Amino acid sequence: LMGVGQALREHNSNVEIVATAPHPDDKVQGLRSIEHGFIPPILDLDKLDGRILVEGEEAFYWTRRLLTDAGYFVGVSSGATFATARKIAQKWSREGREGKIVAMFADGGWKYLSTGIYGEDFKFKQSEIEGKTWW
């Protein structure tokens, strides 16, 4: 995010960099929330224009939809990233704003095959996913 965002900003100073963040109270998160004091060394908060919180259920939903609707075999963090992009697009639509949104899918679905997330009968069940690292 930081490297690609910086490169895009070098070509257009109006580029906004918005991060996807796991909801701090979401038991599905595999990433630690910066609200709990962990800031990855690569993350420069001063260069972010915003962060959008995504809950685990949203991430699962969009991971599945990316496969069934678009054929993208991505992982759960990519589903979360897509949820963020949709939230930005909806906000821009309400504001009458136009532009391009770039969403980077940094993980593949192969890591999640054994979870059943891509199966037709997959239903989000909190009790079945607690304690697992998803994204």
What gap in Å lies between CA 61 and CA 18, rounded to an integer? 21
In this predicted structure, what is the pLDDT of residue 126?
46
Q: Which pTM was predicted?
A: 0.80
Paired residues of 62 in beta bridges: none
Q: Are 80 and 112 in contact (CB under 8 A)?
A: no
Question: Residue 133: is its pLDDT beyond 80?
Answer: no
| Beta bridge partner(s), residue 92 | none
Q: Which domains does the chain show, CATH number per domain?
A: 2-129 (3.40.50.1100)
pLDDT, one tens digit per residue, over 33-80 is 566 666 778 778 888 899 999 988 888 889 999 999 999 999 988 999
